[in-house]
């Protein structure tokens, strides 16, 4: 009996994504920083750009919208503006789209890369000192995945209850900062995209699918990666008690009194957000993480949520 081909919006998009990824021109050989910043303007990303340029002179590329003031700001600070892909139909959340750009921009060229979030990341020292020996993943919480409902929700959605239980006692790793050899970060990006296709539904394109696929890839040893504790090269602060953090001498100081080169999610803490922006905001408006949504945006979010909950086509 002939077996029909499976289909889903995500699978159709994924085929297009691999094709689009091959059209990117890889950045020049060497150490690079890449990010995906669609939906943001100069005020949103100024702390990222200005703090990075204070400690790193190498190539930086951000995928951004065609907004003239933003493009001018990036050009002023020697950041390459990359056009976001235009998809033929349905497309996933930008947190998944970004891995298409990461894979294409990094290619298989020599050097190391940081592929990371943009709006909530700042730099306090050179990001590649010391040089990584391989791929590095960073812990974002002291407690395991089982204690984090958001992570468990998407592990179950993508990989099922049984596999989610297998990973429940593992470290909670953050996909928002990845460091390693360029070719390996590129390969990991394609792996994340592929793992998100497991359920054959749009859930693979949801915000949170990236985190689930990343933790699956590492904890099931689908890729070779060194897991680093929090507050080393990277400090991820979203789940850190605010009273254990301070801003002192122009630096975000960790609970153990160390200072990390890369700081992620500082804006979850108002007593850090304001002084960080005062130092690195370039005189632009302080943009809050949570913004009011229009009625149209709320409707689109509801529609996308309902579509993800519809039975898959068999």
Q: Backbone phi, then psi, for 180, in 5-degree steps?
A: 165, 180
Q: Tell whether the model's pLDDT for residue 255 goes beyond 80.
A: yes
Q: What is the pLDDT of residue 153?
A: 97
The verdict on residue 5 lying in a domain is no
Q: What is the pLDDT of residue 312?
A: 44
Tell me the DSSP string of 222-240.
Answer: SS--EEE-TTSSEEE-TTS
Q: What is the average per-residue pLDDT within 111-137? A: 97
Q: What is the CATH number of the domain that holds 168?
A: 3.90.550.10
Q: Tell whether the model's pLDDT for residue 88 goes beyond 80.
A: yes
Q: Backbone phi, then psi, for 179, in 5-degree steps?
A: -125, 140
Q: Tell whether the model's pLDDT for residue 239 goes beyond 50.
A: yes
Q: Do the Cβ atoms of 61 and 105 come closer than 8 Å?
A: yes
- In this prediction, residue 230 has a pLDDT band, given cuts at 50, 70 and 90, of very high
Q: What is the average per-residue pLDDT within 86-112? A: 97
Q: What is the average per-residue pLDDT within 136-140? A: 98
Q: What is the pLDDT of residue 154?
A: 97
Q: What is the average per-residue pLDDT within 16-34? A: 97
The verdict on residue 4 lying in a domain is no
pLDDT tens for each residue of 43-57: 999 999 999 999 999
The verdict on residue 200 lying in a domain is yes
- In this prediction, residue 290 has a pLDDT band, given cuts at 50, 70 and 90, of low
Whole-angstrom distance, CA of residue 106 vs CA of residue 258:
31
Q: Tell whether the model's pLDDT for residue 304 goes beyond 70.
A: no
Q: Do the Cβ atoms of 152 and 233 come closer than 8 Å?
A: no
The verdict on residue 64 lying in a domain is yes
Q: How many CA atoms lie within 13 A of 281 on its CB side?
A: 16
- Reduced to 3 states (helix: H, G, I; strand: E, B; else coil), residue 159 is helix
Name the domain count of the chain. Answer: 1
The verdict on residue 9 lying in a domain is no
Q: Tell whether the model's pLDDT for residue 272 goes beyond 80.
A: yes
What rounded mean pLDDT belongs to the chain? 92
Q: Tell whether the model's pLDDT for residue 301 goes beyond 60.
A: no
| Residue closest to 177 by CA, chosen among 26, 52, 38, 28 | 52
Q: Do the Cβ atoms of 263 and 252 come closer than 8 Å?
A: yes
Q: What is the pLDDT of residue 311?
A: 42
Q: Tell whether the model's pLDDT for residue 314 goes beyond 70.
A: no
The verdict on residue 228 lying in a domain is yes
Percent of the chain beyond pLDDT 90? 87
The verdict on residue 143 lying in a domain is yes
- In this prediction, residue 200 has a pLDDT band, given cuts at 50, 70 and 90, of confident
The verdict on residue 8 lying in a domain is no
Ordered alpha helix ranges (H), the chain: 9-21, 42-53, 68-76, 94-106, 149-167, 182-195, 209-219, 270-280, 295-309
Containing structural domain, residue 179:
14-309
Q: What is the average per-residue pLDDT within 289-312? A: 51
Q: What is the pLDDT of residue 307?
A: 54
Q: What is the pLDDT of residue 199?
A: 83
Task: Please state the pTM of the whole predicted model.
Answer: 0.91
Q: What is the average per-residue pLDDT within 145-165? A: 96
Q: What is the pLDDT of residue 295?
A: 53
């Amino acid at each position: 009996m002939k077996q029909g081909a499976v289909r889903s919006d995500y699978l159709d998009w994924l085929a297009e994504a691999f094709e689009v990824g091959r059209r990117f021109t890889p950045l020049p050989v060497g150490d690079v920083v890449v990010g995906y910043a669609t939906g943001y303007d100069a005020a949103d990303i100024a702390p990222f750009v200005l703090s990075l340029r204070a400690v790193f002179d190498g190539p930086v590329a951000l995928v951004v919208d065609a907004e003239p003031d933003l493009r001018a700001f990036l050009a002023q600070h020697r950041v390459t503006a990359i056009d976001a892909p235009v998809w033929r139909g349905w497309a996933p959340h930008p947190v998944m789209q970004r891995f298409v750009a990461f894979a294409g921009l990094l290619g298989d060229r020599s050097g190391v890369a940081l592929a990371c979030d943009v709006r909530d990341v700042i730099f306090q020292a050179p990001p590649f000192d010391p040089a990584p020996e391989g791929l590095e993943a960073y812990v974002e919480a002291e407690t395991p995945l089982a204690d984090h409902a958001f992570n468990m929700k998407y592990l179950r959605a993508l990989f099922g209850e049984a596999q989610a239980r297998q990973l429940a006692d593992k470290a909670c790793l953050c996909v928002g900062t990845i460091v390693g050899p360029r070719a390996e970060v590129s390969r990991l990006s394609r792996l994340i995209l592929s793992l998100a296709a497991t359920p054959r539904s749009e859930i693979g394109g949801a915000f949170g699918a990236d985190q689930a696929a990343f933790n699956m890839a590492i904890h099931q040893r689908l890729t070779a990666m060194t897991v680093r504790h929090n507050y080393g090269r990277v400090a991820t602060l979203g789940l850190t008690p605010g009273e254990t953090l301070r801003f002192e001498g122009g630096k975000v100081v960790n609970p153990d009194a160390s200072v990390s080169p890369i700081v992620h999610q500082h804006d979850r803490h108002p007593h850090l957000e304001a002084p960080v922006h005062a130092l690195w905001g370039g005189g632009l408006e302080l943009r809050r993480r949570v913004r009011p949504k229009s009625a149209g945006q709320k409707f689109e979010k509801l529609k996308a949520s309902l579509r993800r909950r519809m039975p898959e086509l068999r």
